[in-house]
Amino acid sequence: MNMNKNKHVNLIAFFIAVVIFASCAATSHPNEKLIVGTWKPVKVEKIVDSVALKAAATQAGNSAQKQSKTGKPAGEGGASRKDATLDRLVQSEMRATMEIFANKTAIKNFPGKPLHATWKMKGQGTLIVAKNIENKMKFTIEILEISKVQIVVIEHAPVGDIKITYEKQQ
């Protein structure tokens, strides 16, 4: 009888531990509440990525001897197109407000074409992984600084990284 009572106590203790563990795992990071709202960009700048810089330096070294038909070093046209695309992205981001909702959805209001996405917080509140609802493309936003009124992030795009400072709209 006493052994049966011990089993019941152990079983109840186990279930309590499971409930406590599950409730702790389900809690959100405080940054999730801070990012909810409408954000307006106040500063957008290109970031030089060290990995991309090393790759470009290697490519430049390999193609220094080669010349294209236009007389320009090989690979130079691709780099200038990529840089022009990144410049257009910077300009577009400067005009795009971002609305982040508590239901894990977001809208980035690019002029003429809003981007609808879902999001989740990762990296102990330092990363936002978002997925474009239309084309299922994933993108990562790294949080550098965050407060109730301002957030500074790095958006990793295929053409390069950009650092954006947003202010919260009231």
Write down the CATH number for the domain with range 30-168. Answer: 2.40.128.20
Which pLDDT value is given to residue 163? 95
Contact 153, 167 (CB under 8 A): no
In the chain, domain spans = 30-168
pTM for the predicted model, two decimal places: 0.68
Looking at this protein, which amino acid is placed at residue 67? Q
- From the centroid of its chain, how far is CA 21? 28
Q: What is the pLDDT along the chain (170 residues), one digit of tens a residue?
A: 566 667 766 667 666 765 555 544 455 788 888 999 999 999 999 986 545 544 554 554 544 444 444 444 444 556 788 888 888 889 999 999 999 999 999 999 988 899 999 999 998 889 999 999 999 999 899 999 999 999 999 998 888 899 999 999 97
Rounded Cα distance, 167 and 94, in Å: 12
